[in-house]
Chains A and B, each alone.
Chain A
Amino acid sequence: MTTPEIYRSFIPFYAVMVSLTAVPLILLSFRHANLREFWTLAASIIKFALVFLLLPGALAGRIAEFTFWEISPGIALTLKTDAFGVFFALIASGLWMLTSIYSIGYVRGLKEHKQTRYFACFAVCLSATIGIAFAANLLTFVFFYEILTIATYPLVIHKETRVAIQAGRKYLVYTLTAGVLLIAATAWTYRITGNLDFRAGGMFANASFSPSAITVLFILFLAGVGVKAAIMPLHSWLPAAMVAPTPVSALLHAVAVVKSGVFGVVRVVGFVFGPQLMRQFDLNTLLAIMAGATIILASLLAFRQDNLKQRLAYSTVGHLSYIVLGAALLSPASLIGGLLHIVNHATLKITLFFCAGAIYVRHHKEKISELDGIGRVMPWTMGAFTVGAVGLAGIPPINGFISKWQLGLGALQAGEILPLAVLVLSGLLNAGYFAPIIYRAFLKSPAVPYKHGEASPLMVIPIVMTGLFSLLLGLNPDLFFYFYRLAAQVSASILGGTGP
């Protein structure tokens, strides 16, 4: 692979700033709901278009770079659109479009309070997420990571009930602690390397350090990004945060925030430490064990949840660790599998959350035990739900299968059998906890006839689109966005150590 060509460009800057610019517009048009939602939609479409513009360059190995200014002597706030960044930004901004449409249906359907604050915070979150995706160095990463932490808080406590406030506290305790650990790790890395730029293959190449320092440093990093990635035992904020409105759970707690965490894990593994150092100090084993344990435990815990969103949350915890496992195995296929799972889990889980939200808005049901026969009145919604569930269980032809296949392949490439067993077992468990929902929805007859049918089209259309998209990606992972090619490129750059 050739060394990528770097060119200066304002596009990454615009991509980050567009939703931030929308914030004052959203706030100012608080009296006109339609205008306000117009800003959100416009920002999300422009953002997606901007990120999409960067795709051809990323595929061809051309990297756009934008430097704001120095924020600490020697360290600049810099955005860089490498393949991995574009990969993540595409998912986040693409799904934001759909979530925006869905959100409008959701908050209006429920007549939520403080909708302005809701949409404004959402926009800030997306800016931060794109900032995380394009961050060219650790300090920039930390910068946006912390902004994301704070901007998500008002969304978690949106309902302003006692439970929501408790969940918000828990969320803050976990994420702020993680934040300071990440800052400590960043400062320490700076001390060792004198440079914080991400480098495929690791940034410690020419630095001198003591072995114990590397292990402690890795644990600090892991705690820092692992909270958002919900690696056990750092996961318990995520189920608690399900008290947030469903679109928040869908986009942030299945895509943007938690994926920022796993994105961070991959950045740390592939671009800070690098495969060589990981293997040398057995850090990848540590990571793999944690990820494997999380996958199994989270799937088991998911069985016990009767609340639909809680079950989905535990399922998310498990699936995030698939990605972590993929990074930990450090073989070409496992990395591709892990990265693809970022996309696949995103489309699948967002579908499932959208469905849960649609059911809640239309029928005010949150518990699985209350869903008997709901598939008959909401065929589209529950059809999409089935696609999502099947995909997460890893059954072809849905996209979840492809990432699992690659992960399994990667485990074999790495010469490990145990991860393969974990994957198979977890697939079964996934099928196990999703099957009863589908069974109840379609085959049981309702105790009390439902009064309503499908939710508003504003909600159903995004649901169907994400479900359909999951199916299409399952048939051809390179469809439209070349996710497979991007993932392969990232994997090659991490393992080959060639990259910016």
Chain B
Amino acid sequence: MIIYNSPALVPLLLLATAISIPVLAIKKTKLAYPLAVGASLFSVILSSYNIFRVWKSGPLTYHFGGWIPPIGIEYVLDPLSAFIALVINIVAFFVLWHASGVQEREIPGKSVPYYSLVLLFLCGANGIIMTGDLFNLYVFLEIFSLAGYGLIGIGEKQAPVAAFRYLIMGTVGASFYLLGLGFLYIVTGSLNMADIKNILPLIDSNPAVEAALSLMVIGIGIKMAIFPLHGWLPDAYTYAPSTTSSLIAPIGTKVAAYAIIRLLFFVFDVKFVSRTLPITDLIAWLAAIGILYGSVMAMAQKEMKRMLAYSSVAQIGYIGLGIGMANPLGFIGAVLHILNHAFMKGTLFLVAANLRKNSGHSDISRLDASYRKKLPWSMAAFTLAALSMIGLPPTAGFFSKWYLALGAIDRGNWVFLAVILVSSLLNAVYFFRILEKVYLVPPPAPKAGEDLSPKAKKRRGSLIGEEEYGLMIPCVILSFSLLLLGLGNANIVKGIIQRIIPLGM
């Protein structure tokens, strides 16, 4: 009856593969990659099946070891968690597909530990998403983060320093979360999310509850890199190997954002977090500052991955803003932006990886039109993702901004509306700067004879233009699905997100 265990199956499968990779691939290191991709593909299939089941018959629960909650650990798949799990598994699958072309080159000879860590990372992410138990969430958060530190630290020369800084901050975050959870446990005597939600109204005005909430939100806020707790992010994304940055950027912060949503609206009460203790207001304002800060900093960067990293700080701000507005439209915008941003940032980082693979750098100042000739499809994917980041219809990015703007108006907060609009112009500035270079700045004159090599000629003549399909196709699929996500967003909103708008909003 494996099918009935499907909620628990995804993290367990990933965990089991992560452990068995070093065992199975110790002699034949080539085995590591197919095992990882296979597990990832299987997790996509399982999570699709899960969301189908949830969509058909409502939330699923799974009790570990048969213990009934609140005593045992419970896994809950409601539309929100099933949806987010599917999103991150899909993005992870494409990134892993793409990894075959870059991983060996950037971090040679480390494929066994690397893919094992990737799967641990994904296991942690899936666990965070599906668990219904707050302490279990902590454990998965740490599995996820520890794997993340490793994935980052494996990169360039500066990477260990960035990873160490992330480790210190991340551990402080996790410890804050744990401390807050301690308070909550002392007060409620339970660790089960649903159980705590029922108990909390009875002890509403306890200062320990407020302390618990603040500590937990700060803790996860560090992992989510919400402004001003984002200090670890730019270095970590820049120096990490390409595959890691394209994995952590779309998934890492999103999972933390999901955890905050869970915590604020499904453990604590909307009324409590927005009125008794105005923590959502605080999140919203910090996010708004973060959006502007991230966009401005992104404009100042000379290196593409660093620019994308700062742009992530800004985009996390959108999600934070949507959460902080604590109204249905803002919530829709935030959840939709988790999806859209995962696809957009995934594409952008993958294209940055292709650039590095192709030319050994991703310096914005050194880009010119020759890159478009070398990588026409990657650049097309980049363009589409950039348009989506700016928020132009019919791409997906437009619609998350649309809902956020509606949410801001609904709340009557014109500052938020202005921030959303201004930031999309700032996005336009830093993305068009790159597009202009890639499409319009003529390359320096080629050296004599160089252009006449048969390979170059052949490439010019071919319709596809790019030879490394493994690098090109994932980018193209991810970016073109932005069009589908944009045009079909009403189905996602109506079919999934509107079903899970927390009560009381």
Asked if chains A and B are in direct contact (CB within 8 A), the reply is yes
Q: Which residues of A contact B (CB under 8 A)?
A: 69-73, 142-143, 146-147, 149-150, 157, 160, 165, 168-169, 172, 176-177, 179-181, 183-184, 187-188, 190-191
List the 4 closest pairs (A to B, CB-CB), nearest first.
Answer: A70-B490, A180-B421, A187-B405, A143-B393
Once the chains bind, are B490 and A146 in contact (CB under 8 Å)? no
Instruction: Give the residues from 486 to 503 in chain B that come closer than 8 angstroms, CB to CB, to chain A.
Output: 487-491, 493-494, 498
Report whether B489 and A72 are in contact in the complex, using a CB–CB cutoff of 8 Å: yes
CB pair B399 A146 closer than 8 Å: no
The reply to whether the CB of B392 lies closer than 8 angstroms to some CB of chain A is yes
Mark B435-452 against chain A: 1 for CB-CB distance below 8 A, else 0: 010001010000000000
Please tell me which one of the listed residues B421, B428, B440, B494 contacts residue A160 in the complex, with CB atoms under 8 A apart: B440
Pair A150/B392 contact, Cβ less than 8 Å: yes
| Chain B residues within 8 Å of A, Cβ to Cβ | 387, 390-394, 398-399, 401-403, 405-406, 409-410, 417, 421-422, 424-425, 428, 432, 436, 440, 442, 487-491, 493-494, 498
B421 cross-chain contacts in A, Cβ below 8 A: 180-181, 183-184
- The CB with the most chain B CB atoms within 10 A, among A146, A165, A168, is that of A146
8 Å CB contact of B494 from A73, A184, A188:
A73
Partner of A177, one of B406, B425, B490, B491: B425
Residue of B nearest to A161 (CB): B440
Name the residue among A73, A149, A169, A177 with the largest chain B CB count within 10 angstroms: A73
> Known pairs A176-B390, A179-B392. 20 more at Cβ < 8 A?
A70-B490, A70-B491, A73-B493, A73-B498, A143-B394, A146-B393, A146-B398, A149-B392, A150-B387, A160-B442, A169-B432, A172-B428, A172-B432, A176-B425, A180-B424, A180-B425, A181-B421, A183-B421, A184-B421, A187-B402
Least CB distance, B291 to chain A, in whole angstroms: 14
Residues of chain B within 8 A of A143, CB atoms compared? 393-394
B406 near A190: Cβ-Cβ < 8 Å: yes
CB distance from A227 to the nearest CB of B (A): 13
CA distance A313 to B405 in the complex (A): 35
Complex contact B417–A184 (CB within 8 A): yes
Of B392, B406, B410, which is in contact with the most chain A CB atoms at under 10 Å from its CB? B392
B409 and A147 contacting across the interface, CB-CB below 8 Å: no
Residue from the list B406, B410, B489 in contact with A71, Cβ < 8 A: B489
A187–B408 CA distance with the chains assembled, in angstroms: 10
Residues of B within 8 A of A69 (CB): 487-488, 490
Among candidates A72, A150, A160, A188, residue contacting B399 with C-beta atoms closer than 8 Å: A72
* Chain B min CB distance to A193 (Å): 12
A-side contacts of B493, CB under 8 Å: 72-73
5 contacts between A and B (CB under 8 A): A71-B399, A176-B428, A177-B425, A180-B425, A187-B406
Q: Are A191 and B409 in contact (CB under 8 A)?
A: yes
What's the Cα separation between A181 and B405 when bound, in Å? 11
Q: Given A187-B409, A188-B409, does the pair A146, B392 have CB atoms closer than 8 Å?
A: yes
Q: How far is the CA of A187 from the CA of B390 in the complex (A)?
A: 17
Provide the bound-state CA to CA distance between A400 and B401, in Å.
43
Q: Which residue of A lies closest to B442 (CB)?
A: A160
Kindly list chain B residues whose C-beta atoms are within 8 Å of the C-beta of A149: 392
Q: In the bound complex, what is the Cα–Cα distance between A483 and B488 (angstroms)?
A: 38
Please, which residue of chain B has its CB at the minimum distance from the CB of A77?
Answer: B487
Q: Is the CB of B393 within 8 A of A147?
A: yes
B487's partner among A71, A147, A150 (CB-CB below 8 A) is A71
Contacts of B494 in A (CB 8 A): 70, 73
Chain B residues near A160: list those with CB within 8 A: 440, 442
CA distance A179 to B402 in the complex (A): 12
A374 to B156, CA, bound (A): 67
Interface centre among A142, A143, A183, by most chain B C-beta atoms within 10 angstroms, is A183
Closest-by-CB residue of B relative to A179 is B392
Closest A residue to B406 using CB positions: A187
CB distance from A384 to the nearest CB of B (A): 35
Are B490's CB and A183's CB within 8 A? no
User: Who on chain A is nearest to B440 by CB?
Assistant: A160
How far, in Å, is A142 (CB) from chain B's closest CB? 7
Q: Which residue on B lies nearest to A144, using beta carbons?
A: B393
On chain A, the residues within 8 Å of B402 by CB distance are 72, 183, 187
* A165 pairs with B440, CB closer than 8 A: yes
Q: Residue on A with the closest CB to B421? A: A180
Q: Which residues of B contact A157 (CB under 8 A)?
A: 440
Residue of B nearest to A157 (CB): B440
A75, closest chain B residue (CB)? B490
Which residues of B are found within 8 Å of A190, using beta-carbon distances?
406
Q: Which residue of A lies closest to B498 (CB)?
A: A73
Roughly how many angstroms separate A99 CA and B428 CA in the complex, as a whole number?
31
Separation of A142 and B398 alpha carbons in the complex (Å): 11
In the assembled complex, how far is the CB of residue B237 from the closest CB belonging to chain A, in whole angstroms? 27
Q: Which one of B390, B424, B490 contacts A73 once the chains associate, using CB atoms below 8 Å?
A: B490
Measured in the bound complex, the distance between the Cα atoms of B489 and A73 in whole Å is: 9
Q: How far is the CB of A28 from chain B (nearest CB, A)?
A: 8
Are A191 and B406 in contact, with the CB atoms below 8 A? Answer: yes
Residues of B close to A142: CB separation below 8 A: 393
**B contact residues around A177 at 8 Å (CB):** 425
| Cβ distance B184 to chain A, nearest Cβ, rounded Å | 35
Contacts of B401 on A, CB cut-off 8 Å?
Answer: 183
- For A168, the chain B residues whose CB sits under 8 A away are 436
Q: Given the complex, which residues of B lie within 8 Å of A146, measured CB to CB?
A: 392-393, 398
Chain B residue at smallest Cβ distance from A70: B490
Whole-angstrom distance between the alpha carbons of A184 and B401 in the complex?
Answer: 10
Closest to A69 in B: B490
With CB as the reference atom, state the residue of chain B lying closest to A30: B463
CB distance from B271 to the nearest CB of A (A): 23
**Bound-complex Cα distance A146 to B417 (A):** 19
Residues of B close to A72: CB separation below 8 A = 399, 402-403, 489-490, 493
Q: List the B side residues contacting A183 at CB < 8 Å.
A: 401-402, 405, 421
Minimal beta-carbon separation of A232 from chain B (angstroms): 22
How far apart sit A147 and B432, CA to CA, in the bound complex (Å)?
16
B490 to chain A, nearest CB (A): 4
> Complex formed: what's the CA distance from A190 to B436 in Å?
35
**What residues on A are CB-neighbors of B387 within 8 Å?**
150
Residues of A within 8 A of B487 (CB): 69, 71
A219 to chain B, nearest CB (A): 14
Q: Which residues of A contact B498 (CB under 8 A)?
A: 73
A190 and B402 CA atoms in complex are apart in Å by: 11
| A169 to B430 CA separation, bound complex (whole angstroms) | 12
CB of A165 within 8 A of CB of B436, answer yes
- Docked pose: A165 CA to B368 CA in angstroms: 14
Q: Which residue of A lies closest to B490 (CB)?
A: A70
Given A71-B490, A157-B440, A176-B428, A184 and B393 contact (CB-CB distance below 8 Å): no
Nearest B residue to A192 via CB reads B409
CA distance A70 to B489 in the complex (A): 8
A258 to B432, CA, bound (A): 23
B331 to chain A, nearest CB (A): 13
